């Protein structure tokens, strides 16, 4: 395929109604815009007094979208996913090769966009978030098994190491990009460090809540409403998410299933049934609500404005989403 042909094919894939509608633009783009508008400072409003958003901040939201969408393209290849948000996944429709190349292309365009911002701290923030996400992906097949096998001697109590690892991976895979994008938006506004720290805290806990709800919907949603494989799809990939870890506190028989990554016939279905028989789903929802509350409280001291209120409302939207 010629360079021109590849570029055309790749851009058509990127335009393949693929932008993740559950997080885009309502979560990433809207979040960055609202963050920018929710605190004072003439530097943030100089370029566009009407919208109160700098061109660099708008571009940051687009860059974040590109990085996020690239990760979805690659994840669908790794997970052998057939659908994404209710439509055929790019790898299912066009093959793994073009799906991977399309993700790489988006990352390359995001890198160019970051360089054009001419802001070293922002470049470092977004680059670091992508690096941590890839670290989590590479570690996934090995580290969880080591932790799980080491923890089977405590059958009736939560293993701090196992759950901490789950939350760490959740931060690295999902919350890091949101948190560092939020911080980058306020950094571009020339905000004081205290504001930047609050923006990061908001994004971190919003991101953790988002993934917890995602893990919850894998057990409670259907493929039609969820927009991607559900019905315990993570179990079939060998993943023990929050609902399973909570359920294992009540049903110790889940632990050997987790340790062997649900690899034997009937493991995934047995785990799915035990999760529904436990309080694991409600505990996962409660934990997500706690993170949403922390996110909302983090920005509560900011000056009252429609933008700040929108950010707070976004925490409710994350908690009540169905896809």
Question: 144-159 pLDDT, tens per residue?
Answer: 433 333 333 333 445 6
Same domain, 112 and 249: no
Domain match, 103 and 164 both:
no
Of 118, 151, 172, the position where a domain reaches its end is 118
User: Has residue 220 been placed in a domain?
Assistant: yes
Give the CATH number of the domain where residue 269 resides.
1.10.600.10
Nearest to 294 by CA among 202, 166, 207: 202
**242 contacts 212 by C-beta, under 8 angstroms:** yes
Please name the helix (run of DSSP H) or strand (run of DSSP E) that holds residue 88, with its range, or none.
strand 87-88
- Residue 30 resides in a domain: no
Per-residue pLDDT at 230: 59
Residues 94 and 194 in one domain: no
In a domain? residue 254: yes
Looking at the domain assignment, is residue 271 inside a domain? yes
**Token duo for residue 50:** 């009407």
Residues 110 and 223 placed together within one structural domain of the fold: no
Q: What is the DSSP letter of 172?
A: I
**Contact of 260 with 267, CB cutoff 8 Å:** yes
Whether residue 265 has pLDDT greater than 90? yes
Which range, 81-95, 197-211, 220-234, has the best average confidence (pLDDT)?
A: 197-211
Same domain, 166 and 113: no
Q: pLDDT confidence of 232, banded at 50, 70, 90? A: confident
Share of the chain above pLDDT 90, in %: 63
Listed residues 118, 145, 169: the one ending a domain: 118
Let me know if residue 1 belongs to a domain.
Answer: no
Task: Give the count of domains, the chain.
Answer: 2
Q: Give the confidence band of 319 by pLDDT, cuts at 50, 70, 90.
A: very high
Q: What is the mean pLDDT of residues 131-140?
A: 83
The per-residue pLDDT for 33 is: 58
Copy the structure tokens of residue 152: 């089977």
Tokens of 255: 């632990």
How far apart (Å, rounded) are the C-alpha atoms in residues 73 and 19? 10
**Claim to verify: residue 65 and residue 181 sit in the same structural domain:** no
260 and 111 in one domain?
A: no
User: Is there a single domain that holds both residue 77 and residue 220?
Assistant: no
Residues 159, 299: Cα–Cα separation, whole Å: 32
Averaged pLDDT of the chain: 81
Predicted local distance difference test score (pLDDT) of residue 160 = 61
Among residues 91, 118, 145, which one ends one of the domains? 118
Burial of residue 232, with CB atoms counted within 10 A of its CB: 0-12 exposed, 13-18 middle, 19 or more buried = buried
CB of 213 closer than 8 Å to CB of 170: no
| Inter-helix orientation angle 120-139/96-117, to 10° | 150
Least confident of 54-68, 79-93, 186-200, 279-293: 79-93
- For residue 144, the model assigns a pLDDT of 40
**Considering the domain boundaries, does residue 5 fall inside one?**
no
Is 62 inside a domain boundary? Answer: yes
| Cβ-Cβ contacts under 8 Å for 124 (sequence gap 6 or more) | none
The pTM (predicted TM-score) of the whole model is 0.79
Q: Are residues 202 and 305 in the same domain?
A: yes
Q: Are residues 76 and 164 in the same domain?
A: no
What per-residue confidence (pLDDT) applies to 23? 36
Rounded Cα gap, residues 147 and 211, in angstroms: 21
Q: 313 CB contacts (<8 Å, ≥6 apart)?
A: none
105, 199: one domain:
no
How does residue 267 score in pLDDT terms, banded at 50, 70 and 90?
Answer: very high
**Cα–Cα nearest to 192, from 203, 183, 180, 201:** 183
pLDDT the model gives residue 225: 55
The span from the CA of 178 to the CA of 31, in Å, is 9
Q: Distance between CA atoms of 20 and 66, rounded to whole angstroms? A: 10
The yes-or-no verdict on residue 25 having pLDDT over 90 is no
Stretch 129-136: mean pLDDT, rounded? Answer: 90
Asked whether residue 259 is domain-assigned, the answer is yes
**Residue found by looking up tokens 């993700």 in the block:** 103
Q: Which residue has the tokens 């988006």?
A: 106
Q: Residues 243, 103: one domain?
A: no
Domain that holds residue 228: 160-322
């Amino acid at each position: 395929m010629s360079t021109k042909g590849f570029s055309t094919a790749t851009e058509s894939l990127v335009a393949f109604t693929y932008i993740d509608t559950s997080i885009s633009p309502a979560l990433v783009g809207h979040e960055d815009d609202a963050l920018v508008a929710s605190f004072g400072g003439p530097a943030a409003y100089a370029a566009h007094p009407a919208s109160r958003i700098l061109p660099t901040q708008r571009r940051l939201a687009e860059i974040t979208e590109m990085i996020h969408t690239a990760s979805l393209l690659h994840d669908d290849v790794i997970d052998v996913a057939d659908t994404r948000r209710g439509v055929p996944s790019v790898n299912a429709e066009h093959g793994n090769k073009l799906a991977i190349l399309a993700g790489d292309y988006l990352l390359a365009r995001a890198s160019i966009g970051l360089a054009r911002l001419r802001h070293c701290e922002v470049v470092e923030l977004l680059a670091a978030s992508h690096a941590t996400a890839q670290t989590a992906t590479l570690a996934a097949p090995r580290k969880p098994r080591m932790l799980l096998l080491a923890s089977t001697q405590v059958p009736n109590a939560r293993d701090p190491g196992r759950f901490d690892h789950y939350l760490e991976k959740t931060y690295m895979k999902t919350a890091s990009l949101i948190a560092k994008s939020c911080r980058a938006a306020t950094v571009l506004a020339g905000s004081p460090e205290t504001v930047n720290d609050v923006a990061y805290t908001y994004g971190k806990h919003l991101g953790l809540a988002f993934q917890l709800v995602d893990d919850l919907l894998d057990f409670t949603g259907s493929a039609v409403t969820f927009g991607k494989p559900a019905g315990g799809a993570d179990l079939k990939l060998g993943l023990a998410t929050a609902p399973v870890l909570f359920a294992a506190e009540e049903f110790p028989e889940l632990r050997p299933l987790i340790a062997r990554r649900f690899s034997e016939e009937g493991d995934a279905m047995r785990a799915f049934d035990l999760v529904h028989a436990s309080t694991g789903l409600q505990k996962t929802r409660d934990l997500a609500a706690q993170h949403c509350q922390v996110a909302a409280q983090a920005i509560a001291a900011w000056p009252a404005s429609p933008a700040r209120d929108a950010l707070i409302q976004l925490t409710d939207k994350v908690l009540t989403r169905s896809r």
